[in-house]
Structure 1
Amino acid sequence: MRRSAIRWVSVLAVGALALAGCAGKEERAGDRGAGGAGWAEGDTIKIGLISPMTGPYAILGILQQNSIQVEMDRINQAGGVGGAELELVVRDSALDPGKAVQAANELAGDAQVRMVVGPSLSAFYNAAKGVYEQNKKINCQPGVGTGDFGALKYGFRSQDPNDIGVEKLMQYFKSKGVKSVGLVYEADDAGKANDGFLTELAPKYGIEYLGFQQTRPDDQSHRPYVDKLKDAGAIMVSSNVSGAKTMAAAGEAGYGGILAGTSGLQNVSFLDAAGDMAVDAVFSAVNVQFNIRDKESWKPGYRAHVEEIVKRHGVVEGPKSGAKMPKGTAIAADCVTAFAAAAENVESLDADALAPAIEKLDISDAQTPSGNRIKPADHEFFHVEDMHIYRWDKDGEGWFITDVTPES
């Protein structure tokens, strides 16, 4: 069950410009319904991406585009979807809510756009999701950490929601004998949401929640916040520069507990900011094996996808830390995998056939780009049991992660 009372929604959308088709052609793929050979053959199926492609957060859009295109190329090389090729159409939100909503309205009204990925950011999706529902537009969200997708008919999420990340951390803390936890985080929507998750989930695992220390953008040091939580067995931190300040303060204070966060701690930008204080820090995330050195342990679909990403686009390397990550985000590619599988299963591109077909999917973690099982019966691709706990370590060869997920 989703906790809509303490969650807010953000997004991903798809789109492309409508084509009238050949003169005199009265049918389009998807209007022909299910069944029959060639139900999409000869057509081009457009999938749209709305994401920041320019500006300070352009890396988000670039990573999403890279992974989506790699997966679309794989599917096209294997014969496409119903004999039709997939085509990506990109709209740059420039992290501007007005541009994001404008693009969502455009693509939601485009009859040949069959799925929308974007716009990223919760506030943007809140503004767009009603348009998608009204226009019966399938949309898949790899950049949305909060919100209740179970209430939607056409919207699906391919990112781990923040609440299950927090719950997985509670399971890990319990396995380590942690008795108390505190939160040091910005006083924004994400911080308030995590405060709510901890308030609800910590007692469930027999852990005392010591409260929310709200940071400020102009803080020079987080030492006062850490000092108030010096007796906590674990401290959860933010996934950005603010979290790095918390880690620095913990080092100054000689804090001996566990420093932890959700999936944002996997990013090289966090390591650049946190430096060696990130050693032994843990984070919850769906499958992210890139910094596990034993490639033989990687999920086969994930390995194939990531190796193609690196071959085409290279890696992102932290200028200070030297840590690396692939220049792609495989959970965005999962959206395409799910769309293609559902369309083939029902031999239709109609949204009212596709939505329940996506709900019925159960794709093995060995077969997906992200290396995670896709089973979105509740419109969520991932669940608590799909989460891992990873620990950052560093040696003479650089940064690496170890999977320290507790056994169920």
Structure 2
Amino acid sequence: MKLLGKLCISLLSVLMVVGFIPVNDVNAAVKLSATSKTINVGRGYTLKLKGTSKKGHAKSSSSAVKVSAVKKTKKVKVRKRVTVKVRVRGKWKKKKVWRKVKVKKKVTVKNSFYLAGKRAGSADVSVTYGKKKIVCHVTVYQPQLNTVVGYTYNLASRLSHTSDSTYWTSNQAVALVDEYSGLLMPIHSGSCIIYRKVNNKVKSQIKINVKSSGDVKVGVDVSRHNGIVNFKTLKKNNINFAIIRGGNGCRKYGTTDYSSIDLNLKRNIEGAKAAGMEIGLYWYLNSSTNGLMSSGDAKLQGERFADRLSSLDIEKNTPIYIDLEEHSALLKSGSKNTKAEFQKEMCQIFEAKLREKGFKNIGIYASTSWYKDYLKNDYFMNKVDVGEEGITSHWLAHYNYASKEGAQTPQFYYNGRLITPDIWQTGSRFRISGTGSTYVDMNYLYQ
């Protein structure tokens, strides 16, 4: 009995000593993957609760952050009625039976929460598990870009571009964006949001603040390919001018008549003028065959265009551009000098027919590479005053160029002299209300 009493006293002493030894709180190991986080509007972060088997629940204190469960796709077995072939009395027949099959199903990932930045601000995201709670403080930042009309900017890297990304603007009257490359084209003072989407879901965004520039105008170039154009809508969206196609080559195409005149020429001229927009015109120089054009081709195109413009009572100082881009018609075999001389001859014949009717403001449209490789000739590079024989203006096509300090537009050299365009065609995949087609070419005119 005494021995039993001693054992009880010893055991009690041990328990008392153990009671004074600090025991780690099991909750001390429970934590969040982050207790503070900064995210951009339109972006997000996956917050994880670690160190507990209990199911957690997350809640945001502000509409700046939206909390949703993280889901993933996994294969699970389900009972499903399927059709199988069975052999009955020597013959194969179809029969429906119940089988366990694997199907893809979205399931919630335990203790993972997606925090989406909805607007600039902050929020406390509290995660509860059982009667315990842990908080993550989230700051939501709105990325911004300040820019000026006449300068382009490539947003692809800024918005984490992927191959399946598309870009959209919240206000076409302030800034446009190339749908696939993310090239930003500011067009008027104000602010808007540019969104990067994947499968029509916003993945990232940026706020654009635009200031106007008094010496830059914004315009479109249009043809029958653009369908029925609503120039009044374009004007409301701060489009100042339109360069309208006169025609193409010497033959009838789907978008031209038998005189090679663009089917929408008259409609487009009248519509642009009625909307109070400045106009220019261009002609796509081409051959009567699939091969090299002749002097007769150039003469015929010049005569037809000049006659039609005269019948439409077009002002004589209206800018008219010769569009040079048809390889088979314009690039004569031989050296680059040979190619430039041949195009000079064709353009001078075409230009002469326009001048006979009094049109005296003739320019050239070509891509940067075409200017550099095929137009190295004083006739194309040395501009003259309106009214003089020769080229009065350079219209340059160069897509996806982001403006740089000291190089607002694409440029190139000729005989050591830097050539800067008067009009820059920035791209061809812009969307803007008022054009009947999906996309439209956009341009800056520098005064």
TM-score tier after normalising by the smaller chain length: 0.3 to 0.5
More helix by proportion, 1 or 2? 1
| TM-score w.r.t. length of structure 1 | 0.33
For the pair shown, the structure with the greater C-alpha radius of gyration is 2
